[in-house]
Structure 1
Amino acid sequence: MSRRAVIAAVDGSAESLAAAEWAAREACLRDLPLRLVHAWQDWSPAFAHVPYAGRDITPGGTTVTRHWAERVPREAADRLREGHPDLEVGVEQVLGRPAEVLLSAADTAEVLVMGSRGLGALGGFLAGSVSLPVIARAERPVVVVRGGERAGDERRSGTGDRVVGRGRNGDVVLGLDLSRPCDELIAYAFEAAAARSATLRVVHGWTAPAAFGYDPAAVDPGHRVAWGHRAASTLTDVLRPWRGTFPAVEIMEQCVVGQASDHLVDASKDASLLVVGRRMRRAATGTHIGPVTHAVLHHATAPVAVVPHL
């Protein structure tokens, strides 16, 4: 069986080119091939004239539309091969709706990487008509990289060329829900940290039960302290077997009071990668993206990996 590849969606935009560069570094870290996928739709009329080019567009758009579709991933691949001479880079153009093309590609991917436009601290990501449907339905991990990511945003360790992250410490940050911890999600985060020789910071946000607001005895701060200790103990228990599987990965456990999404967005400022989960749902309606993941996708500053799980 052939190896899975890291797949990057490219459309010629600065955001997709930043995602492709991130995907190339990820493929190098995982010793996997990189495949660039460009989904294109033929919007050309049956016959049109291009006066400045001095030629016509033939039916099917073979003169201009197809030429552009072939040029976008080819030029991106050339740049990546120049920067990563040992990386195996493949190119694929697929005629079809972008979301459907990328969902099909994701089935064979180790991870699918997409770009997203950053709108700053208040606006966050621009969640488009392609990225959210793909994230909501993909059954393989999807990484969203905001525009502006560059190779220099990740520093390298003192030994070799291993990427260890961006910002101050380059932690890999994992948002973990202790009510239903998932092996696929935890494994992805540990593998990402191990590949980067980075610290894995595991963040669990908790809030006191609503009943605390109605029970006079709950005013005692000791009750909340006890809840915090129990959450921290549970987190330690969940991570204990993973420490044995990944002994080289340094782990930082954080049980924090308040909305998990707020803490994860804050943690993303110094992270090389933020990892969150998405529970797979078969319902025909709804976004199929949980509120924490949705908030993180819109406001995190680091690349965000969304790992689907049951």
Structure 2
Amino acid sequence: MNQNQLDKIKNGKGFIAALDQSGGSTPKALAAYGISKDAYSSEDEMFDLVHKMRSRIITSPAFDSDYILGAILFEQTMDREIEGMYTGDYLAEKKGIVPFLKVDKGLAEEANGVQLMKPITDLDETLKRANERHIFGTKMRSVIKEADQEGIKAVVDQQFEIGKQIIAAGLVPIIEPEVDINSSEKEKCEELLKAEIRSHLDNLSNDELVMLKLTIPTQANLYKELIDHPKVVRVVALSGGYSTDVANEKLKTNDGLIASFSRALSQDLSASQTDEAFDSALEKAVKSIYEASI
């Protein structure tokens, strides 16, 4: 583990940029960027286009370490290059931004009001490659839709079980049990989730550190005790479908919680923009998310 990067993530001012749309969500991300499905005829072409989009974001002067602490990458992005350097190295060396990697393979079918992660069958190989690519940490997402004690326990159990495997590989896992913002039981889900996470944190050994990525809670500062927990490097918030403005306003009411937004970061960006217009739109989003995070 890189101690300087750990210190930056733990103590730095800023937020984590999420650039980790995977195969299932890439068409939607490209469409929002102004590239329709008829612009590509294969998965390879689609991934070429999304890498071009991500490269444009990362190389923009607005994508600045004064505001952005880290960036979460899709596996293919980690294995591709920007200006002749692997993406993680470009982020760390050229931008001073800490690279993370999305490692989950998507969501299983809903059961007990939750969606667990699908099995990550090649995790050891992925973590080996992540270390070779100088990745600092990982991210994996589950979803909670109902206040079902059994379902929420299963989500957190799975997250921490895989998280320990990631820690053993020398990386810092971002545990992400997302609570659906449209759940009619959102507040109750969050109470149950907090208790489950707290139980697992209390059972980690001194050298086992995690990050948490959580939906902005309905009750402000609900997660403060998790933010202050000695085994937690940082707690970051997902935008969960909220617009940038709404997500930022909700974030501001939670002390110590910082953003890790995806759609809210890129919602005003377009492939057809001039570089000047693109950089200006990205700078506006970056600065608004930064202000909400600090």
TM-score in terms of structure 1 length: 0.30
TM-score in terms of structure 2 length: 0.32
Larger helix share, 1 or 2 = 2
Larger Rg: 1
